[in-house]
Amino acid sequence: MSGAQGSLRRRAGTATGAQHPCGLGPRTCAAGAGFLADAPPRIAARRRLTCRNVIARDDALAALEAELFDLVVIGGGITGAGVALDAASRGYSVALVERDDYASGTSSRSSKLVHGGLRYLQNFDLGLVREALLERALLVNLAPHLVRPLELLVASFEGKHPQRTVGVGLNMYDAMATERLRLPGRRRRDGDGIEEWSPDRHRVIDGEEVKRLLPALAGRDPTAAYLFYDCQTDDARLVLTVLGEAERYGAVMANRCEVIELLDENGRAVGARCLDRVSGRELAVRAANVVNATGVWADTIRSEELYEQEEVPHIRPSRGTHITLPYDKLPLNAGAIVPVGDGRTIFTLPWLGRALVGTTDNDYEGPLDHVPPDQADIEYLLGACNRFFGIALEASDVTGAYAGVRPLISTGDTKKSVDISRRAELFETSSGLVTITGGKLTTWRRMAKMAVDRIVEREGREAPCRTHEIPLGQPAGPDDLAHAGIDDESVALLAHRYGYAAREVLAESEEDASLRGRIVPDLPDLLAELPFAARHEQATTLADALLRRTRLGILAAPRLAAADSPEARAAAVAMGPGLGWDDTRVAAELAGWREVARAEGLTGAPEPAESAAA
């Protein structure tokens, strides 16, 4: 490395890792424009751009090509986002590239739970449960607007009391959830006066309370239920929030930037050659370290090196199918654990105005680019709901369906994927490539710490992890988002999705009153979110906005994927000005969105025979 390059790298690492004076970051502080005034020009310019959310994609690509980084992260899901935040907050200069859109893989296709995993207690995997429960408590405190407590019920019927064995398991769950046992109460203040969330212990509730929380069970007249707490999130929005915080610490990121090969000098990985999938141009991103955080795709990066040197067990993909249903078809005010008769259970959860039902867990051997739900799995989920709630749901009631492929680490035996460990695994090969995979949504922060700890260790730095104390976004108070012409339900959704940054979404509607309307009449998402996503969150397609900036692509899929959908057209028209779309491009985006919906089976309807044959 030349002296000039080494000097740039050290300066970049120092500048981008510094903490913003107010502790909130330039997006919410007027001092942001003057922060790091003594940084190198490119770094200072980049920091000023961060005052409005994620850096513009074209600017990010220019910075990726021009600068030398301490670390390049491959993968823009929750693990890659976590690695970027962890490393950048320790003082590393960080680049991140994502082949498709942020969170477009497994990270937007989870059960939306931040939880310990009750079923792991059955396998006596107490360490995994304990780790996940402590992370749950941490995340609900770091992002209280985005990670929220959720009541969950295990109901009993026909005059029977809840099973004592379940109560024993919940006692263990309670005990492992906190570092020390506390009196019931969801909030307390630590020594610094900061409010922290701690769950109440589980308890038994009577049948009337069960029916209030689960109106769908009213016809079965439940006797009682165990009530316990976990947490729920919007998984795609969690990824975007973590990326936003990483960017606040100086990380540079670009989506639709596919790694073609790793750059190599004297047998060491020193970056990645990438293809900009928008322009078709190639660029080289140079870095002293490379972390592969591509989840289920992890063994596609230097696969020969990975398997030959580390004796890595192959990733064994598992497909999990979920469906969404209207509230009037499956009314839920809390979550329910639903037995399915084969020793397994599924969740039914209230989520963003719908009922979310899932998940299945079956080995998957198909292509990974677009993973549709299995029709048999959809029928399985509907049947489980019908038996448990005593109702008659049909396929036509489904408002959305999706499937995610989990990167489970195979143990080499013949067990089902449901029995394969969800623990994260870290691998390092002779080129210096660090690969992190496995794990689950709840433990993303610990996975990221594992990877960055290894980089710090081999470089001999003194750089402890800080992500346990870095807030993820900033919550909005009741008066922060008051806005004429926007209904209360929509304002509440904006507060949940964006926190204080929702003020910038509302600013879009101040400039154009037509953006104050809803995208879909019965859901609170606003048209103003679409130009905001295009200008400030690197959304480049209509599918990006419908699936991962809003979640309407899985909440109102049949309506939005219809060939003549006025709602989809209105969304494309609202999004277009921020990206320079003309009428021809709007039509192309609508066609592209419908193709994505078809390929990913979002409507839950069987694919026509002619399409399947094609």
Instruction: Say if residue 17 is in the same domain as residue 72.
Output: yes
Kindly state whether residues 83 and 132 are assigned to the same domain: no
Examine the domain organization and report whether 603 and 500 are in the same domain. Answer: yes
Q: CB within 8 A of 368, min separation 6: which ones? A: 105, 296, 297, 317, 405
148-204 pLDDT tens trace:
999 999 999 999 988 888 898 899 989 888 764 443 345 555 544 445 677 889 999
Lowest mean pLDDT among 17-31, 229-243, 289-303, 536-550: 17-31
Look up residue 320 and give its two tokens.
């999990």
- Note whether residue 272 is domain-resident: yes
> What tokens were used for 446?
């610990």
Q: Is the CB of residue 476 less than 8 Å from the CB of residue 502?
A: yes
What is the per-residue pLDDT across 552-589, written as a single tens digit (0 to 9) for each? 999 999 999 999 999 999 999 999 999 999 999 999 99
285 vs 429: which has the higher pLDDT: 285
Are residues 225 and 122 both part of a single domain? yes
pLDDT recorded at residue 33: 29
362-363/315-326 β-pairing = antiparallel
470 inside domain: no
- What's residue 578's pLDDT? 92
Q: Which domain holds residue 295?
A: 3-106+237-302+427-462
Return the H-helix or E-strand segment holding 579: none
Q: How many domains would you assign to the chain?
A: 4
* Cα gap 550→552, rounded to integer Å: 6
pLDDT 10s digits, 518-559: 999 999 999 999 999 999 999 999 999 999 999 999 999 999
pLDDT at site 482:
81
Same domain, 248 and 219: no
Question: For residue 24, what pLDDT is reported?
Answer: 31
Question: Angle formed by the axes of helices 78-89 and 3-17, to 10°?
Answer: 100
Does the pLDDT of residue 432 top 60, yes or no?
A: yes
Report whether pLDDT(471) > 80: yes
**168 in a domain, yes or no?**
yes
Closest to 106 measured CA to CA, from 542, 437, 525:
437
> For position 36, what pLDDT does the model report?
32
State pLDDT tens for residues 234-292: 999 999 999 999 999 999 999 999 999 999 999 999 999 999 999 999 999 999 999 99
350 band by pLDDT with thresholds 50, 70 and 90: very high
Residue 201 within any structural domain of the chain: yes
DSSP 431-448: T--EEEEE--GGGHHHHH
Q: Are residues 329 and 352 in the same domain?
A: yes
Mean pLDDT of the region 87-105? 98
Q: Quick one: 175 and 41 in the same domain?
A: no
Q: How confident is the model at residue 310 (pLDDT cuts 50, 70, 90)?
A: low
Lowest mean pLDDT among 91-95, 188-192, 436-440: 188-192
What is the DSSP code string of 505-549?
HHHHHHH-GGGGSBSSTTS--BTTHHHHHHHHS---SHHHIIIII
Assess whether pLDDT exceeds 70 at residue 34: no
Are the C-beta atoms of residues 97 and 284 closer than 8 Å to each other? Answer: no
Cis preceding linkage at 359, omega within 30: yes
Last residue of a domain, one of 187, 216, 233: 233
* Integer Cα distance of 79 and 98 in angstroms: 12
Confidence of residue 506 (pLDDT cuts 50, 70, 90): very high
pLDDT of the residue at 38: 32
What does DSSP assign to residue 364? -
Predicted local distance difference test score (pLDDT) of residue 17: 35
Largest CA distance in the chain: 78
User: What is residue 301's predicted lDDT score, i.e. its pLDDT?
Assistant: 85
- Between CA 547 and CA 467 the distance in angstroms is 27
Q: What is the pTM of this model?
A: 0.88
Q: Are residues 343 and 277 in the same domain?
A: no
CA neighbor of 568 nearest in space, from 532, 604, 541: 541
- pLDDT for 312 beyond 50: yes
**The CATH number of the domain where 362 resides is what?**
3.30.9.10
Residue at token pair 């985005």 = 146
442 and 541 assigned to the same domain: no
Higher pLDDT, 477 or 392: 392
The answer as to whether 322 is a domain residue is yes
Name the phi and psi angles at 258, rounded to 5.
-90, 130
- Pick from 54-58, 160-164, 308-312: least confident: 308-312
Question: How far lies 575's CA from each of 133, 546, 558, in Å?
Answer: 39, 11, 20
User: What CA–CA distance (Å, rounded) separates 379 from 382?
Assistant: 5
- Is 181 in the same domain as 121? yes
Q: In this structure, are 122 and 268 located in the same domain?
A: no
- What CATH number should be reported for the domain holding residue 297? 3.50.50.60
pLDDT, residue 382, reads 98
Residue 445 lies in a domain: yes
Q: Is residue 594 part of a domain?
A: yes
Indicate whether 535 belongs to any domain. Answer: yes
Residues 41, 73: one domain?
Answer: yes
**Between 497 and 438, whose confidence is greater?**
497
Q: Which is more confidently placed, 186 or 133?
A: 133
Which of 408, 435, 451 is the last residue in one of the domains?
408
CATH number for the domain harbouring residue 525:
1.10.8
Alpha-carbon distance of 607 to 561, in angstroms, equals: 13
Which of 239, 94, 139 minimizes the C-alpha distance to 544?
239
pLDDT surpasses 90 at 378: yes
Mean pLDDT taken over the chain = 85
